[in-house]
Structure 1
Amino acid sequence: MESYEEKFIHTNEDLEKLRSDGVLMFQQVPMVEVDGMKLVQIRAIMNYFSSKHNLYGKDMKERALIDMYSEGLADLNEMFILYPFDPPGVKEANIALMKEKATNRYFPAFEKVFKSHGQDYLVGNKLSKADIHLVEMIYNMEELDANIIANFPLLQALKTRISGMPNIKKFLQPGSQRQPPVDEKSVQKTRKIFKF
């Protein structure tokens, strides 16, 4: 595993300094400095690291499937990322909607993919970024409902398989999380810095 340094933006001044230095192509984060590049846009960053570490399929067909699965998960993940910023009443409705979409649309679709080919991973029977995205989404949804994948045994097996990988297992250990849970103070601070 490559070593890296992670820096968080804590103030509006930190963000403005990056913007004025010209390192943020579209004036927004995240930004990753790697291999002599300053990459922005989360999908560009993920695709670069997926390609670099052989998590992006062996050919165009596999990459298309990986992209399709990842983009489908991105739709649900966007809802998850934004719901802490929803006002009361709207937040509860969006949580219910996310749970409904996860259990009636997304998770059944992925369970069907696994049933259709009987392999351990979504594409080419090899770990890809789509598998990692799916397990990340499972963890996210389990924050809302601990039993959300109870009716999806193949998704449970994928989660167990990926969660048991040494680097993932280490990351998941208590105390290893890099960011604190979202609280109302953090939400207000984020709204102020990013002006929404």
Structure 2
Amino acid sequence: MPGKYTLTYFPVRGRGEATRMLLADQKQEWTEDVVTGEIWQKGDLKKSCVFGQVPRFQDGDFVLVQSNAILRHLARNHGLYGQDAREATLLDMVNDGVEDLRVKYARLIYQNYDAGKAEYIEALPAQLRPFENLLAQNDGGKGFIVGKKISFVDYNLLDILQLHLVLAPNCLDSFPLLAAYVQRLNARPHLKTYLESEGRKQRPINGNGKQ
């Protein structure tokens, strides 16, 4: 149903991008409600969000905030939460790992980019190794992060890996399974169309120009 979904967020990729990739790959239409600095400063939108932050997501008359809750909601509605309770729990575990890395990335980008970039990149292999190991344990790394079907975590993990490939283009050189995983997901037809779209290319990665 066109217009069923609305994503309210700043004009950046940020914490809205995994949701966008999921929707695009699942052939879902959505509306972008772009939050300018002026709109945010007025304060009305912030007050309307439970935790005072965006992204804000509308599914019909159902309104959500918190990016990971949004992903999980869509996962339940589109069969992207594993085949059984065991897989769902593993997906929650991996998603928490992605969130840990995203928080570290955001701290670098917004608080310590110039002074901390070199040290961050030096420490990055230790942060990426668990995901390589998890891939290896699932069908030898030939498919998805958990199970035999794509899940909400695959979009979240793909997003954070794409971010790090911009930050440190050689970061996956020592992780062949992750490198192949990124290429494989990027090539999914509907996702590829979105990733190569002008709207996506023109949307900044982060709000402060660092990447």
TM-score, with normalisation over the residues of structure 2? 0.75
- Mapped partners of 2:188, 2:105: distance in 1: 25
Q: Which amino acid in 2 is paired with 1:180?
A: P
Is residue 124 of structure 2 the alignment partner of residue 102 of structure 1? yes
Among 165, 171, 184, the alignment partner of 2:194 is: 171
Decide which structure has greater strand share: 2
Which amino acid counterpart does residue 159 of structure 1 have in structure 2? V
The CA distance in 1 between the partners of 2:110 and 2:146, in whole Å, is 34
Unaligned segments of structure 2, at least 5 residues: 1-26
Given that residues 149 and 156 in structure 1 are in contact (C-alpha distance below 8 angstroms), is that contact kept between their aligned partners in structure 2? yes
Partner of 2:65: 40
Corresponding residue for residue 192 of structure 1: none
- 1:97-124 CA distances to partner (integer Å, 9 max, x unpaired)? 44244312x3221222222332411211
CA displacement, residues 70-127 of structure 1 (integer Å, 9 cap, x when unaligned): 11111111122343322xxx323432344244312x3221222222332411211221
2:132 is the counterpart of 1:111: yes
Name the amino acid aligned to 1:153: P
Residue 75 of structure 2 is aligned to residue 50 of structure 1: yes
Name the amino acid aligned to 1:94.
Answer: G
Q: Deviations over 1:27-86 (max 9, x none)?
A: 322211103201111121110011111111122211111111111111111122343322
TM-score, L = length of structure 1: 0.80
Structure of higher CA gyration radius: 1
Q: Give the aligned residue type for 2:58.
A: E
Name structure 1 gaps, 5 residues minimum.
188-196
Alpha-carbon distance between aligned partners in 1 of 2:154 and 2:66, rounded to the nearest angstrom: 20
- Over 3 Å counting, the alpha-carbon distance change for 1:181 and 1:27 in structure 2 is closer
Deviation at 1:160, TM superposition (A): 1.2
3-state SS, counterpart of residue 33 of structure 1 = strand
Percent of residue pairs bearing the same amino acid type: 26
Partner residue, 1:16: 43
Residues 51, 91 of structure 1: CA spacing in aligned structure 2 closer, same or farther, 3 A cutoff? Answer: same
